[in-house]
């Protein structure tokens, strides 16, 4: 059984040729092969640059770490030096030192204060005592037991056969060791 064929009637239209020209057609696919070498080189270059950069970065960091450690050591030394110099200044400013220097220069300490009023040239009442040296010669401090040497005390027995009771008898000595605070102390 055959299907009746529809005959297509070609109708001439207005500007048929122009329409025919404007109709889109599938063009054949053209394959352009990009060169691989530049891409590979670019990627390689980037990778290389990254690796080298990381290496340099690490190296720099390491060097900085060493430099930081050295600088810290130097800073510690400078701090110690500054502390030592400050201690020296403190020693020079210490009241005993200043007082000793003043005394060495012949300076005296007035007992009472006096004021001169510059507006009236009036001077307050004079002191009833002369100026004196600074009382810096404090007495020796009490020492602990451990710094007091033991004393060797020799007790001498008097001769029994003579009237001279204070004459020691040869060989009749008794030696004991006591602290300086003992009853037999000679200190």
Interacting residues with another protein (CB under 8 A): 58, 61-62, 64-66, 68-69, 76-77, 79-81, 83-84, 86-87, 90-91, 93-96, 99, 110-115, 124-128, 134-136, 138-139, 141-147
> Shortest distance, CB of residue 46 to another protein, whole angstroms?
22
User: In a 10 Å sphere around its CB, with 0-12 CB exposed, 13-18 middle and 19+ buried, how is residue 78 labelled?
Assistant: exposed
Q: Nearer to another protein by C-beta: 93 or 187?
A: 93
Alpha-carbon distance of 157 to 137, in angstroms, equals: 44
Shortest distance, CB of residue 151 to another protein, whole angstroms? 18
Provide, rounded to whole angstroms, the least separation between the CB of residue 131 and another protein. 11
Q: Which tokens go with 147?
A: 């710094």
* Of residues 133 and 157, the one with the C-beta less far from another protein: 133
As measured in angstroms, the least distance from the Cβ of 88 to another protein is 10
Contact between 137 and 169 (Cβ < 8 Å): no
- Cβ proximity to another protein: between 16 and 88 the closer is 88
What is the distance between the terminal CA atoms of the chain, rounded to a whole angstrom? 156
* Residues 40-75: b if buried by 16+ CB within 10 A, e if exposed: eeeeeeeeeeeeeeeeeeeeeeeeeeeeeeeeeeee
Smallest gap from residue 111 Cβ to another protein (A): 6
Question: Is the Cβ of residue 12 or residue 141 nearer to another protein in the bound state?
Answer: 141
Residue 94 or 101 with smaller CB distance to another protein: 94
Long-range Cβ contact pairs of 23-31 (< 8 A, separation 24 or more): none
Backbone angles phi, psi at 176, to 5 degrees: -135, 155
């Amino acid at each position: 059984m055959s299907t009746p064929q529809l005959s297509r009637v070609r109708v001439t239209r207005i500007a048929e040729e122009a329409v025919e020209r404007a109709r889109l057609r599938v063009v054949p696919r053209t394959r352009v092969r990009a060169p691989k070498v530049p891409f590979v080189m670019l990627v390689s270059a980037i990778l290389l640059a990254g690796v080298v950069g990381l290496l340099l970065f690490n190296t720099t960091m390491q060097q900085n770490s060493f430099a930081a450690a050295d600088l810290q050591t130097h800073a510690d030394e400078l701090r110690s030096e500054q502390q030592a110099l400050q201690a020296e200044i403190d020693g020079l400013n210490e009241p005993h030192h200043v007082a000793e220097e003043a005394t060495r220069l012949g300076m005296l300490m007035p007992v009472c204060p006096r004021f001169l009023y510059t507006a009236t040239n009036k001077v307050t009442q004079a002191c009833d005592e002369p100026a004196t040296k600074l009382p810096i010669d404090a007495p020796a401090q009490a020492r602990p037991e451990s710094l007091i040497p033991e004393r060797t005390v020799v007790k001498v027995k008097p001769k029994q056969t003579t009237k001279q009771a204070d004459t020691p008898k040869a060989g009749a000595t008794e030696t004991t060791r006591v602290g300086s605070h003992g009853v037999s102390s000679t200190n």
